[in-house]
Amino acid sequence: MAAADSSLPIAMFDSGVGGLTVLHECLVSLPSEDFLYLGDSANFPYGTKSRDELRGLVARNTRFLLDRGAKLLIVACNSATAAGADVAREIAAEHGVEVVTVVGPEAEIAAAISAGGRVGVLATPATVSGGAYHRALADQGRALEVTEVAAPDLAPIIQSGFPFDEGVVSTVRGYCEPLREAGVDTLILGCTHYPLIAPMLQRMLGRDVRLVTAGHAIAATAQRLLESAGLESRNDGEGDYRFLCTGDAAAFRELGTRFLQMPLGDVEEVAP
């Protein structure tokens, strides 16, 4: 990361507004840092796209953000991470920038806190088929029984489901059933949309099942990388955060406010 500059922002991208759950935690944990967020809402959802499609989107988003200037790149999308983390890292290396993805930090936390070694993963089909969580959990140095559930329609339902109705509750309950049957004691929420239904998942799975979300894990990893490279912000006060999206800016702003739980302000619309 020697080529980067501490005054540059941390760049982050997602398929739409879901990654704002990650940004929210980063804004809380790294308040003096500047952030630049790209929501690729014109290409939402990522979770049902092919591996080749996703790798192309990852390459485009990475180049776009790093050309604008960034000291660290966060891939705040599980499907993009599963299919193209290596693509992002290869491009970022050309800019002297490191990449943080959502899968590894979550796997590390899940393996550390699971009492009985029974870990569940609730994710999109692209994430499950890519095997990223299986590989990441296998690298944690302990025997784990992993149960993965692919949820093809859950992210779109959450994105369009405010307020949540009984149909959403029924769908979530169906996805929880195999996790309950497997007796998981820890569940990785393998999509950045899923924290918005965390209370629902906790109720259905039981209070003893520990939920692992990406936000806290990503923020901690980002802070560690910046400190080790001497790239922490020199700002005395709060940093700035800016938004780009490839879809309708007004729609992104309205929905994004619910995910970020903070004002979005202006959103710049860019070409998909």
Residues marked active site are found at 77, 191
Q: How far apart are CA 107 and CA 143, in angstroms?
A: 13
CB atoms within 10 A of CB 134: 15
Q: What are residue 149's DSSP bridge partners?
A: 122
Backbone angles phi, psi at 161, to 5 degrees: -100, 10
Q: What token pair was written down for 255?
A: 């929905």
In 3D space, the residue among 127, 56, 22 whose CA is nearest the CA of residue 11 turns out to be: 22
DSSP string across 45-113: --TTS-HHHHHHHHHHHHHHHHHH--SEEEE--HHHHHHHHHHHHHHHHHTT-EEEESHHHHHHHHHHH
CA 223 – CA 219 distance, rounded (Å): 6
Give the three-class secondary structure for 162: coil
The SS3 assignment for 189 reads strand
